[in-house]
Structure 1
Amino acid sequence: ERYAEVVADSGIDAKVGQHVWDGVVRDLTAHAGDDRLADGFVKAIEQVGAVLAEHFPVTVGDSNELDDHLVEI
């Protein structure tokens, strides 16, 4: 894999710095370069989940606005 990008909406982007997404991409592409892409996706999802939980904690009555799935473009 030669390219990866985290695409966040404006609300998330306003609270989470670009350096965070750069780190996620760096880790993902490092795993891909080591022929461990699946491990890279798992780590990326864990990292993003931790960041989102910190800035957007779940509250009573919250519901998913989008489906829970990975999108590859």
Structure 2
Amino acid sequence: MHQSVLVTGASSGIGEEAAVFLAHKGFRVFAAARRIDKLKELNAVGAGRITPLQMDVTDKSSIDAALAKIA
């Protein structure tokens, strides 16, 4: 069984680097950010282990929708 992680703010900076790092360490990464277009290219960089999710952490309905895709 693979361990999964949810990384928020994954469209740039520390969040992006964390998502790629964890993917290369073997984790299945759910990379979340408001700008889904910025996340599309992460899967190629992340060894095919990154699933992009559009999510705004300030919007409960956005969080619920993203978590429903993970479950």
User: TM exceeds 0.5?
Assistant: no
Bigger share in strand: 2
TM-score range, shorter chain: under 0.3
TM-score by length of 1: 0.26
Bigger share in helix: 1
Q: Which has the larger radius of gyration?
A: 1
